[in-house]
Chain A
């Protein structure tokens, strides 16, 4: 290999542009005196040619892997559009505004599921956002150093627990607690809002919202932590130097700066909540109705797919479920892109893993 070596990067052309060029210029100088020598002894053009092939071959192989990612997303879109074509032809845009869901007579409207998804996710955000932001603020700004790792580790563990286990826990532990203790209390003091009326089943929108909240706390709080960590330290010191208490410093110098990023974290949490399937399916009650009360059972887009797809009786039924899947896909993508942009505006220019 050594005999046929070139003074600077061999095959500079097919390699990565940016640092390939940089490396070339840098390693050029010390070797430039030997250029004639090396050129004279270069006797194996065939070897060099094979290296070029290996190099571009390797790059091609990696390119294929990268293109597979593109291909998969393309296939997802194509598959969902093709699968939902039947329902789209039959109902058009009215599919999303109809509230009738009757597989027997063939009438399909997705409104109850959209309503259930939106409401359960909003309930989840309502509960999760204060918790998640509090954890993030506490861990980054307030808590004694030795507690920092255990608390962030605990929130990460919450993220590692599978959805189906949250569902199991919710059915047997959370729902009875809600039914016996929380819901009667809510009905007693908050029934005037109209949100907490009707019999306390335990299962229903509220139960789904609470489980979802526990599930999205980790994602919101870890992104928030990341965002808080990029607030410049001098900013904090300046606020403290001006005589602010710690909370005033956090409010004025940290939270205000991280606002957009925290919003992004919240929206990312929303994206998670919208597509969550198993835990919600297990506790929401699975009844395609639109009720104002949060104690009433509901249904979400993801859970209707989970429950009915295998038992779908007609092609139209299956197609309607796939159309719900397509809608879910589009909505979560928009939400995730939005969230990504908002986090990016805050953390750009800093290394991705500031507090790993």
Chain B
């Protein structure tokens, strides 16, 4: 029989550590709540129609908005997706369908390496590759930087999702004589579609908030710009610029922009999680 005294002490230890783990978890969750709450508290008041439709006003004039930065973000992200998504999905298909060899291993490893490269370094490289030869900052350069950041995430998710498709499905396709390229396009990819869309959306949400790679590429702009070949504003850049100024009105704008950005990103992430994830798991099982 166990000794009751020792058992009591052990019981207390157990309670202690359970309580510790629980309270540390509470701290982490409350950090999230604190951040989101302050974003709403400080940002909601300034998130109005003029914020969404006007360009920044000069210092000292109140009002104005971030409409040009919103458009800029959309353009940069569009360019990034244009390059990043096809390359990422293609690389994912290669890894899943043809990548059981040395080259596949190397690509897999390289894409994990690329995933870990600090975003500021990506910015430096995009500066050297696009901005220097062009001799000016541009939305295009920003798009290239973000595309580089999207590719590894999209590639690895695509691979993972394609590998979830049972081999029997492919074998059945081969069995009735469908060539492999057709099997991939018409059978494997559609089966894994929800999962791949999830990966793309998550990569998109991740780069949507990136600031560092845009500093030396898109550069920012206080005015409207509709050209991919000109410096352009972006939401995260604008938040950064405003946050480090000493002007109260710009701080308010920064909070409103941050709230906007978080709504977009958290909205995307949550949507993906609750809509696509469920459908994907339902499809794969």
Q: Show the binding face of A for B, using Cβ within 8 Å.
A: 1-2, 5-6, 9-11, 15-20, 22-24, 26-27, 51, 54-55, 57-59, 61-70, 72-73, 75-76, 79-80, 82-83, 130-132, 134-135, 137-139, 142-143, 151, 153-158, 160-169, 171-173, 214, 217, 221, 243, 245-248, 250, 271, 274-278, 282, 302, 305-306, 309-310, 321-322, 325, 328-329, 332-333, 335-337, 340, 352-353, 356
A-side contacts of B277, CB under 8 Å:
356
Taking the complex as formed, is B118 at the interface, i.e. its CB lies under 8 A from any CB of chain A? yes
B-side contacts of A51, CB under 8 Å:
179
Chain A residue at smallest Cβ distance from B177: A5
Task: Supply 30 A–B pairs (Cβ within 8 Å), ascending by A.
Answer: A16-B180, A22-B167, A22-B171, A26-B171, A58-B181, A66-B91, A66-B94, A67-B107, A69-B110, A69-B155, A75-B129, A79-B125, A83-B128, A154-B28, A155-B28, A157-B32, A157-B269, A160-B265, A162-B211, A162-B236, A163-B210, A167-B240, A169-B258, A248-B10, A282-B244, A302-B120, A310-B219, A322-B124, A325-B120, A333-B117
A-side contacts of B31, CB under 8 Å:
158, 214, 217
Q: A168 and B254: CB pair below 8 A?
A: yes
B-side contacts of A250, CB under 8 Å:
17
A-side contacts of B58, CB under 8 Å:
none
**B interface, over-half SS:** helix
Q: Tell me the complex Cα distance, A214–B236, Å.
A: 19
Q: A10 and B118: CB pair below 8 A?
A: no
Q: Tell me the complex Cα distance, A356–B281, Å.
A: 10
The B259-277 residues at the A interface (CB cut-off 8 A) are 261-262, 265-266, 269, 273, 277
B-side contacts of A158, CB under 8 Å:
28, 31-32, 35
The B31-65 residues at the A interface (CB cut-off 8 A) are 31-32, 34-35, 38-39, 42
Chain B residue at smallest Cβ distance from A26: B171
**A interface, over-half SS:** helix
Q: B121 and A64: CB pair below 8 A?
A: no
A-side contacts of B128, CB under 8 Å:
79, 82-83, 322
Q: Which of A24, A168, A321 has the most CB of B within 10 A?
A: A168
Q: B216 and A310: CB pair below 8 A?
A: yes
Min distance, Cβ A81 to any Cβ of chain B, angstroms: 11
Taking the complex as formed, is B194 at the interface, i.e. its CB lies under 8 A from any CB of chain A? no
Q: Using A26-B171, A164-B209, A246-B18 as known contacts, say yes or no to A72 and B97 having CB atoms under 8 A apart.
A: no
Q: B38 and A305: CB pair below 8 A?
A: no
Q: A169 and B212: CB pair below 8 A?
A: no
**What 1/0 flags go to B94-131 for Cβ under 8 Å of A?**
11011111011011001111101111111111011100
State which size class the interface on B falls in.
Answer: 35 or more
> Beyond A18-B100, A169-B35: 12 further Cβ-contacts under 8 Å?
A6-B177, A80-B124, A142-B18, A143-B25, A162-B210, A165-B35, A217-B28, A247-B16, A248-B14, A278-B211, A282-B243, A325-B121
Q: B112 and A309: CB pair below 8 A?
A: no
Taking the complex as formed, is B90 at the interface, i.e. its CB lies under 8 A from any CB of chain A? yes
Q: A282 and B240: CB pair below 8 A?
A: yes
Q: A138 and B22: CB pair below 8 A?
A: yes
